[in-house]
Amino acid sequence: MKEQLSYASGISNKPLIGKTIGGLFDEVVELYPDNEALVVHHQGIRLTYRQLKEQVDTCARALIAAGMNKGERVGIWAPNCAEWAIVQYATAKIGAILVNINPSYRLHELEYALNHSGCSLLFTADEFKKSNYLEMLNHLAPELKISEPGRLDLEKLHHLRAIVHLGWDPCPGMWDWHDFLGLSSNVDAETLARRQASCCFDDPINIQYTSGTTGFPKGATLSHHNILNNGCFVAETMNFTHKDRLVIPVPLYHCFGMVLGNLGCLSHGATVIYPSQGFEPDAVLRAVEQERATAIYGVPTMFIAELEDPNFHKYDLSSLRTGIMAGAPCPIEVMKKVKTIMHMPEVQIAYGMTETSPVSTQTRPGTTLEKQVSTVGKVHPHLEIKIIDPETQRVVPRGTAGELCTRGYSVMLGYWRDEEKTREAIDPARWMHSGDMATMDKQGYINIVGRIKDMIIRGGENIYPREIEEFLFTHPKVSEVQVIGVPDEKYGEEVMAWIKLRDGEMATEEEIKAYCRGNIAHYKIPRYIKFTESFPMTVTGKIRKIEMREISVKELGLKKEAEIEMA
């Protein structure tokens, strides 16, 4: 019998959507005008699809009035809120490219994202957790204090012409949300309709920054076609209808929230529910009960926190049936509890990457428990996947480990302003190379077995060590630094830095961590720091990070964590 190769293509009776996000949005509003579209608990907001369209169109007209042209970049730096969704749909309607800025970004990362993407306008919240956004913006742009809103000329943020403050308090140099929306009176509905009609579904519509392996994040550039279809088919695979109600505790700046969540629900006329600004387990459980939610999204650490919430058993979760767990491996026992005591028998695992919009594989309703907890599912509709030998590039037999690649409508247009990195990631045949090692079984199920590169996944956040290494190199006392991931019971992995100091210098762990605070996102700050005189190396001088990890596990007493069985 001929050997079966690790290749699969996804079939579907449902065709791809050949429409822009704005076009489909308007069609769904006509179909389900009175269905609830958006519920935001922490803001006390409840909008039907008709009401959401009114706010989206107002925002879109205001953007045109503010001078935003098709293809210009509009950034949003905020935690989950109603304005996030409104801006997402409004920018899509006018053909502006939405730039998602991580709410955890600090000065170093914010400045890079705004300048690299060339943002002309930025929507910003006041603050989130320990990040004071307005304070950081004024630090980067002290000229704001003497600037007129909409007419900025900033030395460090040289593309930025306008900032909209998502609040009511006046801020020098910025429009507040209400005043910004007031600009819409200068643009009529016909002008918006003409702009929207000029958009094509292959146009770039979104830039999402992914942690870079060469120091700075890369801007994955995605089209209407990329993200609208991916959101649609994730929800379709979950058997979503206009009657479903989804609780979204994952951040909107990430594909998980804005694509699988917002666009997945939009494509089916379903209801989106934001329980809180950021993840709060009690808020999620409360929202499920109050809204009679049918689905929840989350990374494994979120589901663990919900299950361990002291009030868990007080909530009625019987309305749930499904959801997506993704972003990191899930402990088997956690999956069993989610399926039973959380009333989610149809919970599914999804796998992908930002560059593939993001989902490439997903489990299905009816998938056996064994497959649900040991694989990331099968190929998505309308996509192709293959597993190749990283050296020869040939497709490997099923059951053999190799690099997982994806091809199809979901593959990004490329990295923003980086043709070289785009060519490294997407080969001439348009296969996106994931960097993940995987196997495919005889039934086509995929198991992720490791990573070619040394990416760290901490609680669903992808962290590339090189980015942290290059930042720590800027510390005046640091001579050499290597960053690795070490096992952690709660987050899956934690960040650890091995640091060699310059001759004659002394430093403490707290000093290094203090240097990171306020400059890089909190989840990238090393939990563990080891000062060393040398690094394990091969005979050719290559750092052996595998050996570093082994040494660290032993020295930190993490043997138990390293043995935790993951799905």
- In tens digits, the chain (567 residues) has pLDDT values of 678 999 999 999 999 999 999 999 999 999 999 999 999 999 999 999 999 999 999 999 999 999 999 999 999 999 999 999 999 999 999 999 999 999 989 998 999 999 999 999 999 999 998 889 999 999 999 999 999 999 999 999 999 999 999 988 889 999 999 999 999 999 999 999 999 999 999 999 999 998 644 457 899 999 999 999 999 999 999 999 999 999 999 999 999 999 999 999 999 999 999 999 999 999 999 999 999 999 999 988 899 899 999 999 999 999 999 999 987 667 778 888 999 999 999 999 999 999 999 999 999 998 988 888 789 999 999 999 999 998 899 999 999 989 999 999 999 999 999 999 999 999 999 999 998 889 999 999 999 876 676 778 888 887 878 779 878 988 999 988 899 999 998 899 999 999 999 889 999 999 999 999 999 999 999 999 999 999 887 544 567 888 899 999 999 999 888 877 655
463 bridge partner residues = 456
CA distances, 234 to each of 58, 267, 325 (Å): 29, 10, 12
Task: Tell me if 275 sits within 8 A of 41, measured CB to CB.
Answer: yes
Measured CA to CA, the distance from residue 514 to residue 550 in angstroms comes to: 27
Parallel, antiparallel, or unpaired: how do β-strands 97-100 and 119-124 relate? unpaired
Cβ count near 448 (within 10 Å)? 18
Measured CA to CA, the distance from residue 114 to residue 118 in angstroms comes to: 6
Provide the pLDDT for residue 168: 82
What φ, ψ does residue 342 adopt, rounded to 5°?
A: -95, 0
Provide the pLDDT for residue 211: 67
Q: What is the number of helices (H) and of strands (E) in the chain? A: 19, 29
CATH number for the domain whose boundaries are 50-199 = 3.40.50.980
Provide the pLDDT for residue 540: 45
Provide the pLDDT for residue 1: 62
> At residue 378, what is the residue type?
K
Q: Supply 136's token pair.
A: 């950081």
Task: Tell me if 220 sits within 8 A of 112, measured CB to CB.
Answer: no
Task: Tell me if 415 sits within 8 A of 221, measured CB to CB.
Answer: yes
DSSP state of 167: S
Helix (H, G, I), strand (E, B), or coil: what is residue 328?
A: coil
317 bridge partner residues = none
Tracing tokens 């720590």 back to the chain, one arrives at 472
Q: Alpha-carbon dihedral of residues 87, 92, 97, 98, nearest 10 degrees?
A: 30
CA distances, 184 to each of 67, 123, 327 (Å): 11, 16, 39
Cα dihedral across residues 236, 238, 239, 245: positive or negative: negative
* Residue range 132-156, pLDDT digits in tens: 999 999 999 999 999 999 999 999 9
So where are the chain's domains?
50-199, 219-445, 463-562
Beta strands in 283-333 (DSSP E): 295-298, 322-325
Q: Supply 521's token pair.
A: 């996102």
Pick from 129, 125, 116: nearest CA to 160: 116
3-class SS letters over 356-420: HCCEEEECCCCCCHHHHHHCCCEECCCEEEEEECCCCCCECECCCCEEEEEEECCCCCEECCCHH
Measured CA to CA, the distance from residue 169 to residue 177 in angstroms comes to: 10
Measured CA to CA, the distance from residue 433 to residue 452 in angstroms comes to: 11
Helix (H, G, I), strand (E, B), or coil: what is residue 229?
A: helix
Measured CA to CA, the distance from residue 345 to residue 366 in angstroms comes to: 9
Q: Which CATH class is domain 463-562?
A: alpha beta
Cβ count near 565 (within 10 Å)? 10
Query: How is domain 219-445 classified at the CATH fold level?
Result: Rossmann fold (3.40.50)
Using left for φ > 0, alpha for ψ between -120 and 50, and beta otherwise, residue 270 falls in beta
On the question of a common fold for 50-199 and 219-445, the answer reads yes
